Amino acid sequence: MDLTSIKDQFITNLASQKKASATVVAYKKDIEQLLEYLRSINKSNFDEVTQADLEAFLAKLSGLNFTPKTISRKINSLKTFYRFLIAEGITKNNASTNVSHPKFEVKAPRVLSRLEYRALRDACRDDARIAAVVELLLQTGMRIGELAALTLESVSDSFIKIPAIEGHAEREVQLNKPVKSAIDRYLDIRPKVKTNALFVTKTGRALLIRNVRTAIDRYFRLAGIRDAKVNDLRHTFIVHHLAAGASPLLVSKLVGHKRISTTEKYQVYIKDFEMGKVKLDEL
């Protein structure tokens, strides 16, 4: 089996596990880079590939100005790829076993302060659709992809059913008054179109992830909020709830983390907040 066929088989295997599409695309690019390097050193048999070969590949990436964080992610791709190779009987030689991750500083999550939160709400107040989007992201902690997948049936009087997408389980989150009010205000002006998507464009098409990013980035600028991205609204939800005393288990269920350890990582920043190192105001 040639290298391209092995790569294609690996990607098919990832997709069958319902990995997020962005994850599959990232792994595909990472493994393509690896295979291109192996061809350049005339190695097409994984039994011949050594740890030194993999480390030389990573060193080359480092020389191309890939960040330590990116290289660490690529190492995860390598290790996953090798687990696949061994499971499929393509090789018994796991050259990635002792490849170590580079050290890099993990930045604290960007959390909106009370003033920033109010400024964002004020900036999009006259846009009922985006105002509802912002409230949903801030008050439920859902992912932007989950928001784009919402339908009219997702919303009830007191709960919103967040759909299962890209390997994340379906879940229900209670709606508080501000977000329910924002949704109701949007539904009053939502175009009467055939699509069942909750959020639609002015022409009646489902609002896509890129549409949401573009709109919220615009309102970040209008609100004078710097260095913030859409996913930071999710960070704000998580950190605020943990700071308010919610258990990591509860928060992990609300935001759909597969592992509670993912939620617990945010607790480090709660300690910093309590010591005044990270600014977090009550929303």
How far is the first Cα of the chain from the last one, in angstroms, to the nearest whole number? 57
Which of residues 87, 104, 139 is at a domain's end? Answer: 87
CATH of residue 35's domain is 1.10.150.130
The H or E element containing residue 114 is: helix 114-123
pLDDT for the residue 272? 64
Residues 230 and 173 reside in one and the same domain: yes
Q: Is residue 279 a part of any domain in this protein?
A: no
Is-contact 247 270, C-beta < 8 A? no
DSSP string covering 143-186: -HHHHHT-BGGGB-SSEEEEPPBTTBPPEEEE--HHHHHHHHHH
Full-model pTM:
0.70
Q: Could you tell me if residue 215 is left (phi over 0), alpha (psi between -120 and 50 degrees) or otherwise beta?
A: alpha
Residues 72 and 194 reside in one and the same domain: no
In tens, the pLDDT along 74-101 reads: 999 999 999 999 999 999 999 999 999 9
Q: Is residue 256 a part of any domain in this protein?
A: yes
Q: Please state, as a whole number, how many other Cβ atoms lie within 10 Å of the Cβ of residue 280.
A: 20
The closest of 181, 191, 176 to 131, measured between CA atoms, is 181
Q: Is residue 97 a part of any domain in this protein?
A: no
Dig out the tokens for 168 from the structure.
Answer: 């994340």
Q: Is residue 210 a part of any domain in this protein?
A: yes
pLDDT for the residue 52? 96
Place of tokens 């209008």: 222
Q: Is residue 238 a part of any domain in this protein?
A: yes
Residues 60 and 162 reside in one and the same domain: no
pLDDT for the residue 194? 85
Is-contact 142 255, C-beta < 8 A? yes
pLDDT for the residue 281? 45
Return per-residue pLDDT of the chain as tens, 283 residues: 678 899 999 999 988 887 777 788 899 999 999 999 999 999 989 999 999 999 999 999 989 988 888 999 999 999 999 999 999 999 999 999 999 998 877 777 888 888 898 999 999 999 999 999 999 999 999 999 999 999 999 998 889 999 888 778 889 999 999 999 999 999 999 998 888 999 999 888 999 999 999 999 999 999 999 999 999 999 999 998 898 889 999 999 999 998 899 898 888 777 666 555 555 444 4
Residues 225 and 266 reside in one and the same domain: yes
pLDDT for the residue 181? 94
Give the phi and the psi of residue 199 in degrees, each rounded to 5. Answer: -105, 125
Residues 263 and 197 reside in one and the same domain: yes
How many structural domains does the chain have?
Answer: 2
